[in-house]
Amino acid sequence: MHIEPTETQALVAKTARDYAERTLKPLAATLDREERFPLAQLRELADLGMMGVNVPAELGGAEAGAVAYSLAMTEIARGCASTAVTMAVTNMVAEVITRFGTEAQRERHVPKITSGDYVAGAFALSEPEAGSDPGSMRTTAEKVPGGYVLRGQKQWITSGAHAGVVVVWARTGGPGTKGLSAFLVEGGTPGMKAGKHEDKLGLRASNTVPITFDDCAVTEDALLGGEGGGFKIAMMALDGGRIGIASQALGIATAALDEAADYARNRKQFGKPIGDFQGVKWPLADSRTELDAARLLALRAAWLKQEGRPFSREAAMAKLFSSEAANRIVSRCLQIHGGYGYVRDFAIERHYRDVRVTTIYEGTSEIQRTVIARAELRG
Ligand SMILES: Cc1cc2nc3c(=O)[nH]c(=O)nc-3n(C[C@H](O)[C@H](O)[C@H](O)COP(=O)(O)OP(=O)(O)OC[C@H]3O[C@@H](n4cnc5c(N)ncnc54)[C@H](O)[C@@H]3O)c2cc1C
């Protein structure tokens, strides 16, 4: 068993860490306060190969694998969680088109994602009435000569207002998950319109919007995979996406823990650094232990994916544990900051808001437990 990263993985992680440290960390508070979408930074990340870490080189990707992607995502999230989620969804879209697209679809979209020509990609599965249960989706795609017409509404779409391409799920057949298909809809297509930017608790520099499809016509070649194959595509994409969110949560918690340890070394009460008190040492110790356990789960899921082995259960375990642990860790780290943790002068306040959503999106913790238990009961 080898736990050390390969040379490539270490290089990708270092590239991401250097960029996060130099560019994202100093900017994150401003981006958050101004709710500013990190346009320039996303382009720079594309130049560094971060928009297709696990995408073949022939499509402009870094071809560095899923483990390198997990490491990079953690490093970027250490610097700015909003930028990280935008990068996570964009990588997911690049991977999904690479895997399920025709050669023409791949060539049309993936190089534009990996090069930064498209600022981002978006993944439009959720709807106002269909979150954990995509089978209840109402958006439809009516077959017409030469293509389809999409009608309906999507909700919570990350980068929906900026994406060069949106993967959209819609119903082409009967009820339930079997009637779902996926489509590649280019940004600016008439009839597809992004709504008002959500006023969120955290990740305030990421773009989250509803999207409406009002007689949105697409040609036949927009269909991704076959008709009725949409649910399978969504679930496979989310398996990989969950490694990304587990890694993002890890990054936020790592930043919080580093800052809490630093604070505990410097803040004095009762004539000594608060880090001398057992009541401060133990949460630091518990947090580091949980963080490492979460990291190992995420890396194992990424490694299985990279090896082409089943990883759905392991990705759900990684996402469940990592996001829940990250929430506990960031909360403890805020406590270590005392009252200073409650104000915007310290980054921990932002981490506390940013980390919250990691137990919710790309499947809530309850849905991850459902995936894990299903595998358990199958025997
Ligand atoms: C900032 C942000 C960004 C997002 N980005 C995207 C995106 O880019 N693309 C996209 O498609 N979606 C996106 N989402 C949507 C996200 O994936 C959903 O919010 C999530 O899947 C939960 O769906 P819901 O909000 O409708 O909650 P619901 O499904 O209504 O769930 C409400 C509660 O009920 C629980 N629950 C539901 N069903 C069960 C069950 N069977 N067993 C036990 N408990 C259950 C849930 O765990 C949760 O606690 C984003 C959301 C946010 C907040």
Asked which of 51, 85, 119 is the last residue of a domain, the reply is: 119
Q: How far apart are the first and last CA of the chain?
A: 26
Rg (CA), the chain: 21
Structural contact between residues 260 and 337, judged by C-beta atoms closer than 8 angstroms: yes
In this prediction, residue 2 has a pLDDT band, given cuts at 50, 70 and 90, of confident
Residue range 27-81, pLDDT digits in tens:
999 999 999 999 999 999 999 999 999 999 999 999 999 999 999 999 999 999 9
314 carries an active-site annotation: no
The verdict on 72 and 159 lying in the same domain is no
In this prediction, residue 205 has a pLDDT band, given cuts at 50, 70 and 90, of very high
Nearest CA to ligand 1 atom 31: 132
Task: Choose, from 198, 362, 366, 376, the residue flagged as catalytic.
Answer: 362
Ligand 1 and 312: CB distance under 6 A: no
Ligand 1 and 357: CB distance under 6 A: yes
The verdict on 218 and 350 lying in the same domain is no
Nearest CA to ligand 1 atom 14: 156
The verdict on 372 and 262 lying in the same domain is yes
Q: Is the pTM of this model over 0.85?
A: yes
The verdict on 350 and 246 lying in the same domain is yes
Asked which of 212, 228, 244 is the last residue of a domain, the reply is: 228
Q: Does some domain include residue 202? A: yes
Q: Does some domain include residue 162? A: yes
Q: Which helix (H) or strand (E) holds 232?
A: helix 230-266
CATH number, domain containing residue 299: 1.20.140.10
User: How would DSSP label each residue in 42-80?
Assistant: HHHHHHTTTTSTTS-GGGT----HHHHHHHHHHHHHHH-
pLDDT higher than threshold 90 for residue 368: yes
The verdict on 254 and 313 lying in the same domain is yes
* pLDDT score at 326: 99
The verdict on 366 and 243 lying in the same domain is yes
- List the one residue out of 171, 9, 182, 53 whose CA is nearest residue 105: 182
Question: Distance, CA 112 to ligand 1 centroid (Å)?
Answer: 29
Q: Taking every pair of C-alpha atoms in the chain, what is the biggest distance, in angstroms?
A: 79
Question: Distance, CA 227 to ligand 1 centroid (Å)?
Answer: 25
CATH number, domain containing residue 49: 1.10.540.10
| Percentage of the residues of the chain whose pLDDT score is greater than 90 | 99
CATH number, domain containing residue 159: 2.40.110.10
The verdict on 110 and 196 lying in the same domain is no
The verdict on 186 and 299 lying in the same domain is no
- List the one residue out of 121, 123, 118, 122 whose CA is nearest residue 43: 118
Q: Does some domain include residue 1? A: no
Ligand 1 and 364: CB distance under 6 A: yes
Task: State which amino acid sits at residue 101.
Answer: G
Q: Does some domain include residue 257? A: yes
User: Domain range for residue 361?
Assistant: 231-378
pLDDT higher than threshold 90 for residue 23: yes
**Number of structural domains the chain divides into:** 3
Q: Does some domain include residue 2? A: no
Asked which of 59, 85, 119 is the last residue of a domain, the reply is: 119
Question: Distance, CA 151 to ligand 1 centroid (Å)?
Answer: 22
The verdict on 167 and 223 lying in the same domain is yes
The verdict on 263 and 347 lying in the same domain is yes
CA 149 to chain centre: 29
pLDDT higher than threshold 90 for residue 84: yes
The verdict on 198 and 237 lying in the same domain is no
